[in-house]
Amino acid sequence: MATISLKHNNPKVNNIHQQKGHIIIEEIEGLIRVHKDGHVERPQIVPNVSCKVPSENGVTSRDVTINRDTNLFARVYVPSSILLLTSHNNNNNNNKLPLLVYFHGGGFCVGSTSWICYHEFLNNLAIKANCVILSVDYRLAPENRLPLAYDDGFNALMWIKHEALNGTLYNGGSNKQNWWLSHCNMKLFLSGDSAGANIAYNVATRLASSNINSSCLNPFCLKGVILIQPFFGGEERTFSEKHFQQPQNSALTLSISDTYWRLSLPLEATITRDHPYCNPLANGIVNKLRDLKLPSIMVCVSELDILKDRNLEFSNALVKAGKKVETFVYKGVGHAFQVLNNYQLSHYRTQEMMSHIKNFMN
């Protein structure tokens, strides 16, 4: 797996400065620069990779278009072994795999399903967890503030349902773009890391809300939600946020987290860090969790992550609300270790996490 090093300094927080005649109002060096006139720059700190690059581990990947109007697309990963099995008998559901819909991280503001670190991680996860993966390339803030990323996630699921009901599952995958659906069974999982985990959770709660019919995903059945270091926040700092010291090239420091939230939350004057998009446990929301018909949830926590305490508090709240939750803490690694691969233990912990995901899905 590629090693990605985020060589940025602390973001310039609330520090308006000039560069080449332009006024920059927000910046995380090396990742994103927001100008006063609304122009946004995203330096190519992480290489993009084409889906057509041959896989070394036997995974076929292709890009598919979900909505041309919003430029919403996804990258699909299918283990090559299942292609051989289902090509002989498309109607044998025993030869088909669960579908994992994945959302990448990046504070809602950066990142892509075509980033090499996500491409390689999901290639490996498809093999290790024995599943088909659809990685959604949702719209980014600040041009597209929340809840637009949630809308993209929900609309991606509705598109999957539409394609399935149009006969792709039952007619041998005759649609050239959606051939991969014929290799899926009806078991659906939502997942993501960091901001992507936040998206996965919010899409799951939208599906579980009382105003959406329980057959919303038919013919698929949502079996579980896998949250990897979910990116949440709040007005009151946790112990790990205040006291966990992070190296300069860390994927998430407290100042970087603050910048991401300023850029991604809605602009309404009444919005605070305790908005439910940011803090799922604020303002009495915990009591409402009991009424949500959520599937089983897996929460992956990194021991050195500034989000550690917030993630554990979230997991405990779900348990108290009567939800089925499995929580794993990965020792000695920090935020996004599974894609950055810049910790000594990251490879071992990534394999450990993939095994836990496989067991959870089975």
Burial label, 285 (beta-carbon count in 10 A; 0-12, 13-18, 19+): middle
Burial label, 76 (beta-carbon count in 10 A; 0-12, 13-18, 19+): buried
Note whether 160 and 134 are within 8 A (CB).
yes
Report CA torsion sign: 56, 132, 145, 310: negative
Whole-angstrom Cα distance, residue 146 to residue 12? Answer: 23
Whole-angstrom Cα distance, residue 251 to residue 106? Answer: 9
Write out the two tokens for 56: 């070394």
Whole-angstrom Cα distance, residue 112 to residue 93? Answer: 32
- Which one from 55, 61, 182, 194 is the annotated catalytic residue? 194
As separate numbers, helices (DSSP H) first and strands (DSSP E) second, the chain gives: 10, 12
Euclidean distance between the first and the last CA atom of the chain, given in angstroms as a whole number: 25
CA angle at residue 237 from 257 to 26, to 5 degrees?
A: 25
Residue 96 to residues 64, 99, 176, 185, 187: CA-CA distances in angstroms? 20, 10, 18, 5, 10
The reply to whether 194 belongs to the active site is yes
**Looking at the annotation, which residues are catalytic?**
194
